[in-house]
Amino acid sequence: MLRWAEEQRVSREKRSIIQDLSVLTIYGITRFALPATRTRQAGFVDKIKPAYSNDSSLFELGCYVYFRIDLWHVQNKCDKFRKDALDFCLDEFVSVFEDALGFDYANEIIQNRLDLYGQLIREGDSDRINFYLLQLLIRTKNNTLPELHDFDNYTIVISDFFEKMGLEITVKAFESAMLPEIFNNFKYIYQRLENGQH
């Protein structure tokens, strides 16, 4: 996915601005797979990162990112372009990752995750969102394909303390660096659509 995202980002192919938005969102998601930046914790994180620098982990993270994008729309009352933009972006996300991972049930998994995260946000339980995100990412270690889950009867995966901590640091760093950029891309594209640009 890293190569696809980079090729799409620099492509001179003529696209609509919604297509550009979709590419930029997937590109942002793939930044998760890059080596840690040089911080105090980078050496620690670099030990666990290779096991999660794969397309399965990026897909699982992408499900979470699209939940956060949808939540951003609700919190910022951005309804005008929400359905068209999100439908297009999600369709392309599904298509690209089904090709990359060689499976055909990405839609079901995304809906499974959106239902889970949506229920937890309605219950005001953001800690459980973080818990499930880490649990679901741990299950993608070494490119293990994501699966549908019954979250009422969910078996917890016990992982090494340092691996879990390293993954948590990586997720938090991604959230603080990339999510604001992704939200800004949506805001920018919507401003252009308001001005009649397509």
pLDDT of residue 2: 76
| Residue bearing tokens 């590109």 | 27
- Does residue 21 lie within any of the structural domains? no
- Does residue 3 lie within any of the structural domains? no
- Does residue 58 lie within any of the structural domains? yes
pLDDT of residue 5: 81
Tens digits of pLDDT across the chain (198 residues): 778 888 887 787 888 999 999 999 999 999 998 876 555 555 556 677 788 999 999 999 999 999 999 999 999 999 899 999 999 999 999 999 999 999 999 999 999 999 999 999 999 988 899 999 999 999 999 999 999 999 988 889 988 888 888 899 999 999 999 999 999 999 999 999 988 876
Q: What does the chain look like in DSSP terms, one character per residue?
A: -HHHHHHHHH------HHHHHHHHHHHHHHGGGSPPPSSTTHHHHHHHGGGG-SHHHHHHHHHHHHHHHHHHHHHTT--TTHHHHHHHHHHHHHHHHHHHHT-S-HHHHHHHHHHHHHHHHHTT-HHHHHHHHHHHHHTTGGGPPP----GGGPPPPP--HHHHHHHHHHHHHHHHHHHHHHHHHHHHHHHHHHTT--
- Does residue 67 lie within any of the structural domains? yes
- Does residue 121 lie within any of the structural domains? yes
- Its pTM stands at 0.92
- Is residue 66 within 8 A of residue 93, CB to CB? The reply is yes
Residue 105 domain boundaries: 39-191
pLDDT of residue 164: 87
- Is residue 188 within 8 A of residue 81, CB to CB? The reply is no
- Does residue 17 lie within any of the structural domains? no
Total number of domains in the chain: 1
- Does residue 23 lie within any of the structural domains? no
pLDDT of residue 102: 94
pLDDT of residue 37: 58
- Does residue 33 lie within any of the structural domains? no
Quick one: which of 47, 33, 59 has its CA closest to 173? Answer: 33
pLDDT of residue 41: 53
